Amino acid sequence: MQLTERRSEGLLRVYDVRVPAAELQQKLTAKLTEIQPRARINGFRPGKVPVAHLRKVYGPGMMQDIINETVQRSTREGLEKVNARPASEPQLDLKSDINKVAAGQEDLQFELSLEVMPDFEPVDLKTISITRPVATVSEAQVDEALNELAKAQRGYDDKDAAAADGDAVVVDFVGSIDGEKFDGGAANDATVVIGSNQFIPGFEEQLIGAKAGDERTLKVTFPEDYPARNLAGKAAEFATTVKAVREPKKGDPDDAWASQLGFDSLAALKGALRQRIENDHAGQSRAKAKRVLFDKLDEEHDFELPPRMVEVEFNQIWRQVEGDKEAGRLDPSDAGKSEDDLKAEYRKIAERRVRLGLLLAEIGRKAKIEVTDQEVTQAIANQARNYPGQERQIFDAYRQNPTLLAQVRAPIYEEKVVDYVLELIKVANKDVTREELFAEDEGPATGEADGEKPKKAKKTKVAKAED
């Protein structure tokens, strides 16, 4: 194999690779000689088929395999030879006539282009400090979760009276705006639990006092931030028929009820609920700390980025933006902006993601962090459980597709690097309420000076992209 560097511009490297035809033919002859003792072809005694005949019968298919193997091996050995660290998957451009190569009439030539890792030194992690929001779990939260579980598990009894707060009302409804029905605005036998806030504001409350057989027109207004932008902020009417009213079954949670759910006692059930809520808090606390950490790392580093990687990342984000736009889900902050302005904003987000990805990869490399096959297998198993009866097909799909395996390995690697970084930096905990912990995005509060309730900051484009 001969490898020659043809271009070196910034992080881009382009190499010409040549593998002599004689080398490929030598490999083919070796393979044919290997199978000759086992070959069985009509008209020849077992093991006595001439190599020339085997070449005619099996040569084309074998040569194709040899070419594929040679390209992969040459790529790997070539990169090792020039000590190149690819920042992304190398691209190959075949320059030879593959039929002539297979026939031994032409050398195998291809162009190998790639972007290499930029040369930079990560900041001393011990100099970074962040604040991590944490929220303790109160007894009231546990009791609330217990009551919700009891309500869901105990079910409902039919009620021959008017619906009240907490009751479940079974209804048929058809929605319309300005007299015109809209997609997704109708349902039959829908269960509406009054006070659950599962429907748009005002819908559930207007069912209070309703009885089976009643017909009501519920007048509501879709929230301004409603996901379907074609409905956001619009007034609507729902022609509703009440089919049944049900009330929660009576009885407070007790040890006997807890045992029906598989717990030794009510105290054990409450302990499990507390642990679940604490896990939720810990996960959200880590997610917010991770985002703050990423902001810090992004601020501390500025190095050349591989253009191809940025372009791939940007295209991925932009496809999502276009999909949201077509579905009427475009972020309100993007409304009214030109396409050029939007592309400029989202390209900066793509650059941030690439920068952080390369930085985490370099930190992990220096710390010798690796993802084990067992961790990858466990992650695939977790995904396969979502497809009962198809687990084997899921595992086979991942084994046969290196790209899918890489998609499983990447987030595991990222989380391990983040864990490593969080151990080294200075992390100060800040006590917050559960509401503050689970707010979409932390931002400067407004209106506190004059006693108004602080407004919740909207999630930034960067946060949405990283989600």
Cα 320 from Cα 328, distance rounded (Å) = 12
Q: What is the pLDDT of residue 334?
A: 85
Q: What is the pLDDT of residue 450?
A: 36
3-class SS at 397?
helix
pLDDT averaged over the chain?
A: 88
Q: Residue 140: pLDDT above 90?
A: yes
**Helices (H) then strands (E): counts for the chain:** 13, 11
Q: Residue 447: pLDDT above 50?
A: no
Q: What is the pLDDT of residue 446?
A: 32
Q: What is the pLDDT of residue 64?
A: 86
Q: pLDDT band for position 357 (50/70/90)?
A: very high
* 156-248 topology per CATH: Chitinase A; domain 3 (3.10.50)
Residue 285, CB-side half-sphere exposure with 13 Å CA sphere: 22
Q: What is the pLDDT of residue 242?
A: 96
Residues 364-378 have pLDDT tens digits of 999 999 999 999 999
Q: pLDDT band for position 462 (50/70/90)?
A: low
* 265-466 topology per CATH: Trigger factor, domain 2 (1.10.3120)
- Name the least confident of 77-81, 258-262, 463-467: 463-467
- Mean pLDDT of the region 388-400: 87
The residue assigned the tokens 């309100």 is 332
Q: Which residue type occupies 275?
A: Q
Location of each CATH 1.10.3120.10 domain in the chain: 265-466
- Mean pLDDT of the region 394-408: 88
Residues 4-13 have pLDDT tens digits of 888 888 899 9
Cα 259 from Cα 252, distance rounded (Å) = 14
Phi, psi of 37 (to 5 degrees): -65, -20
Q: What is the pLDDT of residue 455?
A: 34
Q: pLDDT band for position 51 (50/70/90)?
A: confident
Location of each CATH 3.10.50.40 domain in the chain: 156-248
Mean pLDDT comparison of 122-131, 179-188, 435-444, highest-scoring range? 122-131
CATH (one of 3.40.30.10, 3.30.450.20, 3.30.70.1050, 3.30.300.130) for 2-115: 3.30.70.1050
Q: Residue 467: pLDDT above 60?
A: no
Location of each CATH 3.30.70.1050 domain in the chain: 2-115
Give the CA dihedral 382, 385, 390, 394, nearest 10 degrees.
-10
